[in-house]
Structure 1
């Protein structure tokens, strides 16, 4: 337990602020997962799960007695749901890859469409409102912002699993709220990584949009040629 305890509590001081190494490492795994998602690689899902597990312990600062000592229940709770949705995405992308003979990307990007946007919009409003009431009662820091980050993150991850190009836009909205909240709460590495995510997200959106415009018509043509 001595070595494990040291690894769990290992810190680095940045500009006079104590930062847990697992916060830094967890966010780096998250960044790697985002890059994998941009490239539509299946390994993005298991890599993301590792980062989620680490960050779950980080955002329960009061529970685990971290330097910040601040509980962000939305930030912590979403890590659990991330893992569940990541398993779904992992299975879905793997199935798609097997169906294509193991060649090419695991998913072809497409718009969610009217029905998809109704689903996303409804969950965004209802989920954020419900989580706000819950997080406020739990005493979470910044409950409204935390509620949107929680709900939006789940929607973005689900959209990625479905191959909806709009999921990148949802991440942008999450980052816009997440950076100020994390800075105020003292989670500086996470705030910085959110800024980096924003750059990756903007680039990822253009990559998926380009792929959608080129690969989707090719798939339709191939299906028509085969009589499907």
Structure 2
């Protein structure tokens, strides 16, 4: 019973901090990156408890990408100015596709054959999409939200299946926020052109 209460407390805190983070990101507010670090730390512990190791590893990378994103948003523009929203160059899509396929196959195989991971290939593919989307967000590529929409849709089902009902609801809410983020960032990008 104590583990159930502790898990739900952690999950509730993870949900709250994640919603704050993503809401701030949709608004292009720099403080979203701080909340990303906090929520990633919390979810790293939760995913370890539920043997979703790829997602646990993802949280550590998210912390690093959050620091990178914070810097990029402040100084990643021309002459170290604020970074504007833009479209991702075509050649980077090719590189991201290669990273997605390679990461999914290697991570899924490793976790599926050398650990007690649950849903190793699904978990690994969603981790790959999330890594790419987070990097794209740090670079303020508007298409990051399209990847988040896809990932959040499948994460909603996976977490429901695993019994993480609060987190499943969170990812449904993140799906809605990702749609809003795409619309808002697209308007921001269009106003620059």
| TM-score, L = length of structure 2 | 0.92
CA displacement, residues 46-90 of structure 1 (integer Å, 9 cap, x when unaligned): 1110011111111111xxxxxxxx311012111111001111111
**Structure index of larger Rg:** 1
Q: Which residue of 2 aligns with 1:88?
A: 68
Q: Which residue of 2 aligns with 1:79?
A: 59
Report the Cα distance in structure 2 between the residues aligned to 1:78 and 1:96, rounded to whole angstroms.
Answer: 24
Q: Which residue of 1 aligns with 2:133?
A: 156
CA displacement, residues 14-41 of structure 1 (integer Å, 9 cap, x when unaligned): xxxxx52111111221111111111111
Report the Cα distance in structure 1 between the residues aligned to 2:107 and 2:143, rounded to whole angstroms.
Answer: 23
Gap runs ≥5 in structure 1: 1-5, 13-18, 62-69, 101-105, 218-228
Deviation at 1:123, TM superposition (A): 1.0
Alignment of 1:148-227 (within 5 A): 148-215=125-192, 217=193
Higher helix share: 2
Deviation at 1:128, TM superposition (A): 1.2
Report the Cα distance in structure 2 between the residues aligned to 1:46 and 1:172, rounded to whole angstroms.
Answer: 22
Gap runs ≥5 in structure 2: none
Q: Which residue of 2 aligns with 1:27?
A: 15
Report the Cα distance in structure 2 between the residues aligned to 1:10 and 1:184, rounded to whole angstroms.
Answer: 17
Secondary structure at the residue paired with 2:43? helix
Report the Cα distance in structure 1 between the residues aligned to 2:67 and 2:18, rounded to whole angstroms.
Answer: 15
| TM-score, L = length of structure 1 | 0.78
- Return the match for 2:35 from 22, 25, 47: 47
Alignment of 1:11-22 (within 5 A): 11=5, 19-22=7-10
